[in-house]
Structure 1
Amino acid sequence: MEKWYIRNVKGNLDKISKSLGISKFLSKLLLNRHITSYRLMDSFINPSLDKLHSPWLMKDMDKGVNLIVESIKKGEKIRISGDYDQDGNSAILTLYKGLRKCGAKVDYVIPHRIMDGYGINERIVKEAKRDGIDLIITCDNGISAFEPIRLAKDLGIKVIVTDHHDIAYKEDEDGIKKYILPDAEAVINPKRWDCKYPFKELCGAGVAFKLIQALYMKMNINIEESYKLLEFVAMGTVCDVVDLVDENRIIVKEGLSRINNTQNLGLKALIKATGLEGKNINTYSLGFIIGPCINASGRLDKADIAVELFLTEDQDRAQKYANRLHELNKKRKIMTEKGYERIVNQIESTDLKKQSVLVIFEPQIHESVAGIIAGRVKDKYYKPTIVLTQSKEEGIAKGSGRSIEEYDMFEEISNHKELLVTFGGHPMAAGLSLDISSIDEFRYKLNKDVSLTVDDLTPKVYIDMHLPLDYINFALIEELEKLEPFGKGNPKPLFAEKNVKIKRGVILGNEQNVLKLLLLTKKGRIIDGIYFGDIEEFERQMCRKFGQEELDKMYRGLSNNIMLDIIYTPVINEYMGKRNIQINIQNYR
């Protein structure tokens, strides 16, 4: 059972409203998103490129830029070492295109998810030496790659790390954390404890973008040129699920504008392959349609396909690559569904479901979809979830974890590092490997030390405010559009209304999976309510509370006793040239 809470962040609504020239209604929604400083509110309401922070504020930026400029002048070979996910893909493209613009001799390498695992490794470093590479630049990885970077230095290769992941640390005898950095020439990461950069939540592509901005400034290239990279940076920002506030909001807002007018052959081909041609591309399109196709290459094939898609100047090749990614993503969906069913069956048929932290070993699932499955299982049970499967190494399990807000997964797993072979991540997600023989002990220790309460493990829905249905009009919905694009840190506004009567219910859709409710407002207006959830469960609950007869009356449009509390988002529905107000019902009780 979930709990509903109304957000109530205090602030001077009159002052905010006058300062920003917005309504008190919108001012309240900003406060509810913990956007409380005037600077952040201003960049949120007016997200313009001139509000991006200076890249020179980032620790080691000067060192990194000077090293690259020197390498370019000497004609040295530079290699980008990226990552196989969407953010890594975007970071590689940002660095590659930016460095090429500066005249660098540059190529890139991406580790293979199954053969290599995450991040720069010794094989990549040795190949770089063999290929005569003088400088390696990591992106979206490298902050914990101590051994490979030490090897690079021993082999005479310079290294610049650009990353956004949490910094590794050791605890001394008094429990004080001592942060550790790899021994690179420059380590550019806003999460460094000694970095004064004002925004810490950039994704990997965002950090790469700041490096290119600084490089362009140093080489007297117009800063406007760097903005051409924002369509890639925006994709990484949305797909890596970082907070869409401050710089990230500016990047995504500007990036989406460019994506919707893109001239990039690969991106156009992928938009066509996924059926998005002629439609407005928004954060949903990136996060749930385009992004998963790009990720599918790194999961089931080589991630290079996705990078080459965006680099190619050949129309036929672009469409071939785009179709390949779309097909891989279809295959990935089937694998995910089968793996998810296996794991839910395992949980339901064992004592696992009694535990606060779910650690599940399922050797038959593909390790590339472990993280996606962990996310879905976490959503179903609202518990921190780690899904492990058989690694290519004999006797080793490998997998991913996804967490809930109340549980810092990085911190908790760090407490048991002695059981792990590899480990990395952040509070909400982690990747790890360990001996299969250690799984039971690892599960036992995580659950023995857990401080999660029943309340922590209860899903919570946060409502922006009680908003009677009679208050909804076109102007209010259009005002809400000023908050777009929505995403992590800036969720779609949710409103609530109590004791709503239903005039009629209709089941729609080819698969009969959409419930349309004609809702009666207190003043007697009728508003369409659309529910995309579990209709059978809705019917069960209505029968339990009001009886089958009342449910039948509702479906026949007869007077009935059914009343609901609802959580909803108001939208404008446009169909056949007509506009009408509709609410999308997210939760009911």
Structure 2
Amino acid sequence: MTEKIWRLLPSSENSQKLSCETGISAVKARLLINRGIINAKEIDSFLSPKLSGLIDPMLLKDMEEGTALIISAIERQVKIAIFGDYDADGLTATAVLVNFFTELGIPVLYYIPDRIEEGYSLNAKAIEMLHGENVRLIITVDCGVSNKKEIEYAKSLGMDVVVTDHHQIPDDFEPLCPVINPNRADSTFSFRSLAGVGVAFFLAVGIRQSIRKKGWFRQASEPDLRHYLDLVALGTIADMVPLTGQNRIIVTAGIEAIRSSRWLGIEAMKKICGLENQQMSAADMAFKLAPRFNAPGRIGDNKAAILSLVTDNYSIALNTARELNSMNSERQKIEGAIVEDIETNIIPSMDIDGKRTLLFSKQGWHKGVLGIVASKILEKYHKPTIVLTVKNGIASGSGRSIDGFNLHESLTTLKHLLKKFGGHYHAAGCTLESHNIETFAQELEELAVKTIKDEDLVPAIIVDDRLMLNQLTIDSVNDIRTLEPFGSGNPEPVFYSGNIEVIDSRVVGENHLKLRVRQGDIIHEVIGFNLAVAHVNIQGSLVNMVYTPEINRWNGSERVQLRLLDIEPANKSTRLRTDILKN
């Protein structure tokens, strides 16, 4: 396992100027510049996201046509179905529209395809089933933009379709129905990075706006869509889209809404996760709530997940939350067993150091968890990784990649070996005949040899700034934390401090490192999760470290705590790099 380098982002001449112009600290100015926020107007929008800053949904291409078709179906009392996806983004998107229509008094069906049996997005069998239920309008969420053939089939049965999706537009795209997708080149909607649930939310806003003009709410209450924002935030965070722009507005408001959620399934899951009566963070939603809603789609029947988000019965919500929690535990066991199988039985016989890419395949591995397995292998070895399961002569699975190797582009180059594939730069899935696996692995490696540079294979921690420990006070750390919510596009701030004395070191829990460190007269506590290996011979020594500062609140008291990311001896060659990052 390669040691990580610490790559310090270059300082900007504008940080001091921006600090003077806006009144923010120089450290905060540098953090914002590192995140592409470079002027006073952008800073105000970033630090004070307001719902009034949401873009008019009618600027999304086909929003007017889509809402008109939906309203017409409602007025004609046509049966409507929401067709979703099995991940947390698709589930929350489905829940947003089901709950919205229910609040309007309009009954709708919902359909979530089975990941293993049906795969992703619209399929003929599901369309036939919905047609048999007398559904005549399908609204897709988080899927549909690549379903030209299936949409044609639905239309041939006399069904209308409205697509809402956020995935990339395929080369052969032809809008056979209203297709609401911010990535459309002909859309005037200025923000491209909505999650699927974000697009569904904007559809609800557009429908409400249109029926308000028709006078629907003169004698009926109007849905308050602010209550839906915790659902939207959960799906947005789970899908790892950038938490900037419109997503930042949505997630900030959603974190506030989830403190006292209207949705019983979320309240029940908070109870299961021990998050009742606690201030929620984006990290809580990403690492505690989202995996539990994702688990059923990965390993089994996802009916419990969507039921928990649309039920108005707390007993059902609590039972389904328990079921999802159990499924998540099972998911962890399954993926752990596959990782152990790879580490124990396959990797020892491979020349890992001599490879640019890693590909593993085996009969019997559970298809639903292979993306997570690939992520874990990539995290350890920092090489593009594809993991496939084989059944009946067909290999299918998922891959994850590093900066410097566009996985989707590579699969496109190798499409002559694939039955199907999809994804984006860092994550993709593919299916191929099992007899092509060896050739596929060989040609993928050849592409990587031509593409990946040696420095791409060295993992790096991106460091925002150097700090002295006396710069970290409760006030300054709270000020830094105003950049929350953190996530994709807005990572947690990371700092470097050097020549720090370790005055106490101990191992806590199973594998965690607890330190007390000193620089001058300043002493701070440090926690390093899964870093107990650094405990040996560290007490009394001088170290350099990279970390994220946070506030530890306990029994009504507050103190600064540093969450350690990496550590090294101060008297040896440092891993800190100050060269400018590659584009």
- 1:187 lines up with 2:189 in the alignment: no
Please tell me the residue identity of whatever aligns with 2:376: R
Local SS of the residue matching 1:481: helix
Aligned mates of 1:341, 1:353 — CA distance in 2: 19
Instruction: Return the offset for 1:6.
Output: 1.4
Aligned mates of 1:488, 1:277 — CA distance in 2: 26
2:69 — aligned with what? 67
- Normalised to the residue count of structure 2, the TM-score between the two structures is 0.91
> Does the 8 Å contact 1:190/1:199 carry over to 2?
yes
Assess, with a 3 A threshold, how the Cα gap between structure 1 residues 263 and 493 changes in structure 2: closer, same or farther.
Answer: same
Aligned mates of 1:9, 1:62 — CA distance in 2: 46
Aligned mates of 1:21, 1:158 — CA distance in 2: 54
Local SS of the residue matching 2:475: helix
1:42-441 matches, within 5 Å, as: 42-169=44-171, 180-220=172-212, 225-345=224-344, 346-351=346-351, 354-391=354-391, 394-441=392-439
Instruction: Return the offset for 1:363.
Output: 2.1
> Does the 8 Å contact 2:226/2:257 carry over to 1?
no
Aligned mates of 1:195, 1:100 — CA distance in 2: 30
- 1:533 lines up with 2:535 in the alignment: no
Assess, with a 3 A threshold, how the Cα gap between structure 1 residues 135 and 585 changes in structure 2: closer, same or farther.
Answer: same
Please tell me the residue identity of whatever aligns with 1:322: A
Local SS of the residue matching 1:504: strand
Assess, with a 3 A threshold, how the Cα gap between structure 1 residues 355 and 507 changes in structure 2: closer, same or farther.
Answer: same
Aligned mates of 1:301, 1:533 — CA distance in 2: 30
Q: Which structure 1 segments of 5+ residues have no match?
A: 170-179, 543-550, 555-559
Q: Which structure 2 segments of 5+ residues have no match?
A: 569-583
**C-alpha deviations, 1:449-494, integer Å up to 9, x for none?**
2200110111111111011112211110110121111111111111
Assess, with a 3 A threshold, how the Cα gap between structure 1 residues 81 and 37 changes in structure 2: closer, same or farther.
Answer: farther
Local SS of the residue matching 2:550: strand
Please tell me the residue identity of whatever aligns with 1:66: A
Instruction: Return the offset for 1:205.
Output: 0.2
Assess, with a 3 A threshold, how the Cα gap between structure 1 residues 348 and 146 changes in structure 2: closer, same or farther.
Answer: farther
Instruction: Return the offset for 1:190.
Output: 0.9
Aligned mates of 2:350, 2:408 — CA distance in 1: 26
Instruction: Return the offset for 1:277.
Output: 2.4
Of stretches 471-480 and 84-93 in structure 1, the one that deviates more from structure 2 is: 471-480
Please tell me the residue identity of whatever aligns with 2:292: C
Instruction: Return the offset for 1:64.
Output: 0.9
1:176 — aligned with what? none
Please tell me the residue identity of whatever aligns with 1:524: D
- 1:491 lines up with 2:483 in the alignment: no
> Does the 8 Å contact 1:406/1:456 carry over to 2?
yes
> Does the 8 Å contact 2:227/2:261 carry over to 1?
no
Local SS of the residue matching 2:455: coil
Of stretches 189-198 and 478-487 in structure 1, the one that deviates more from structure 2 is: 189-198
> Does the 8 Å contact 1:370/1:388 carry over to 2?
yes
Aligned mates of 2:382, 2:133 — CA distance in 1: 48
> Does the 8 Å contact 2:553/2:559 carry over to 1?
yes
> Does the 8 Å contact 2:92/2:309 carry over to 1?
no
**C-alpha deviations, 1:48-107, integer Å up to 9, x for none?**
100111111111111111111111111111111110000000110112122334444421
> Does the 8 Å contact 2:515/2:527 carry over to 1?
yes
Instruction: Return the offset for 1:14.
Output: 5.1
Of stretches 307-316 and 6-15 in structure 1, the one that deviates more from structure 2 is: 6-15
Please tell me the residue identity of whatever aligns with 1:580: R
Local SS of the residue matching 1:410: helix
Aligned mates of 2:13, 2:244 — CA distance in 1: 19
Local SS of the residue matching 2:456: coil
> Does the 8 Å contact 1:79/1:106 carry over to 2?
yes
Aligned mates of 1:292, 1:37 — CA distance in 2: 37
**C-alpha deviations, 1:24-54, integer Å up to 9, x for none?**
3212111111223555432210011001111
Assess, with a 3 A threshold, how the Cα gap between structure 1 residues 65 and 579 changes in structure 2: closer, same or farther.
Answer: same
Assess, with a 3 A threshold, how the Cα gap between structure 1 residues 18 and 70 changes in structure 2: closer, same or farther.
Answer: farther
Instruction: Return the offset for 1:183.
Output: 4.1
> Does the 8 Å contact 2:514/2:526 carry over to 1?
yes
**C-alpha deviations, 1:319-378, integer Å up to 9, x for none?**
111111111111111111111111223123223553212221122321111111111111
Of stretches 461-470 and 497-506 in structure 1, the one that deviates more from structure 2 is: 497-506
2:440 — aligned with what? 442
Aligned mates of 1:251, 1:116 — CA distance in 2: 32
- How many aligned residue pairs are there? 556
Aligned mates of 1:534, 1:362 — CA distance in 2: 32
Of stretches 95-104 and 64-73 in structure 1, the one that deviates more from structure 2 is: 95-104
Assess, with a 3 A threshold, how the Cα gap between structure 1 residues 103 and 70 changes in structure 2: closer, same or farther.
Answer: farther
- Normalised to the residue count of structure 1, the TM-score between the two structures is 0.90
Q: Greater relative contact order (Cα 8 A, min sep 6): structure 1 or 2?
A: 2
Instruction: Return the offset for 1:281.
Output: 2.1
Instruction: Return the offset for 1:116.
Output: 0.4
Assess, with a 3 A threshold, how the Cα gap between structure 1 residues 39 and 118 changes in structure 2: closer, same or farther.
Answer: farther
Please tell me the residue identity of whatever aligns with 1:534: L
Please tell me the residue identity of whatever aligns with 1:303: N
Instruction: Return the offset for 1:251.
Output: 0.8
State the 4+ residue runs in structure 1 displaced beyond 4 angstroms: 18-21, 221-224
Local SS of the residue matching 1:587: strand
RMSD of aligned Cα (Å) = 1.9
Aligned mates of 2:178, 2:348 — CA distance in 1: 49
Please tell me the residue identity of whatever aligns with 2:157: L
**C-alpha deviations, 1:289-347, integer Å up to 9, x for none?**
11111111212222221111121122221111111111111111111111111122312
Instruction: Return the offset for 1:9.
Output: 6.0
Aligned mates of 2:491, 2:184 — CA distance in 1: 28
Assess, with a 3 A threshold, how the Cα gap between structure 1 residues 458 and 37 changes in structure 2: closer, same or farther.
Answer: same
Instruction: Return the offset for 1:228.
Output: 1.7
Local SS of the residue matching 1:84: coil
Aligned mates of 1:311, 1:75 — CA distance in 2: 22
Please tell me the residue identity of whatever aligns with 1:24: A
1:579 — aligned with what? 558
Instruction: Return the offset for 1:272.
Output: 1.3
User: Once the two structures are aligned, what percentage of the paired residues are identical?
Assistant: 35
Aligned mates of 1:277, 1:431 — CA distance in 2: 37
Please tell me the residue identity of whatever aligns with 2:453: T
Aligned mates of 2:222, 2:485 — CA distance in 1: 24
Please tell me the residue identity of whatever aligns with 2:552: N
